[in-house]
Amino acid sequence: MSGHVTDRLALAAAEALDPGEQRRVDAHLRECPDCAAQAEQWRRLGDGLRDLPTPVPSPGLLARTRATIERRQAEREEQTWNRAALGFLIVFGWTLTGVAWLLLELLVGELALRFERPLGPTIIWFGAYLVAGWVAAAAATVLLGRRTHEEGRLA
């Protein structure tokens, strides 16, 4: 009795051996009660595993999962775009304000030079420009804050 086939028994039970090897294992099992007993255990285990019910996801669950994944993907893309847009708004707002301060400096210089000249509509346009810059920056800051808050709550 030479060359036990214990290392081949699991594969034999799974019917995963090539035909030549399977014949060799079968021949050995006919002569070796030890290996035959082990082979029987492997066969029972294999049968038991085959009898286990295979879980099949319902079509509804599959569709819901796919929809959820697609929705998350869309949300992530939208969040990236929103952050970029709000970042631009903030930079735009602060640039507007910075330019406004430069213009104010120029205007004050101009006022000093031509003190008696009436400014009329110029000062109104300048005021509107300044307020627009502040409002844009403030709105962007509020929006970004709210967005960050919502994302934090969702995460």
Dist. CA 34–CA 48, nearest whole Å: 22
**Shortest Cβ 22–Zn ion spacing (Å):** 15
When asked if residue 4 is in the footprint of Zn ion (CB under 5 A), the reply is yes
Cα torsion for 90, 95, 98, 99, to the nearest 10°? -150
When asked if residue 137 is in the footprint of Zn ion (CB under 5 A), the reply is no
**Shortest Cβ 32–Zn ion spacing (Å):** 3
**Shortest Cβ 40–Zn ion spacing (Å):** 13
Query: Token pair for residue 36?
Result: 């035959």
Other C-beta atoms closer than 10 Å to the C-beta of 6 total: 13
Binds Zn ion by CB under 5 A, chosen from 32, 39, 100, 137: 32
CA atoms within 13 A on the CB side of 141: 8
**Shortest Cβ 26–Zn ion spacing (Å):** 12
Q: Which is nearer to Zn ion, 32 or 137 (CB)?
A: 32
Contact between 107 and 130 (Cβ < 8 Å): no
Binds Zn ion by CB under 5 A, chosen from 9, 13, 35, 90: 35
In the complex, the residues that contact Zn ion under the rule CB under 5 A are 4, 32, 35
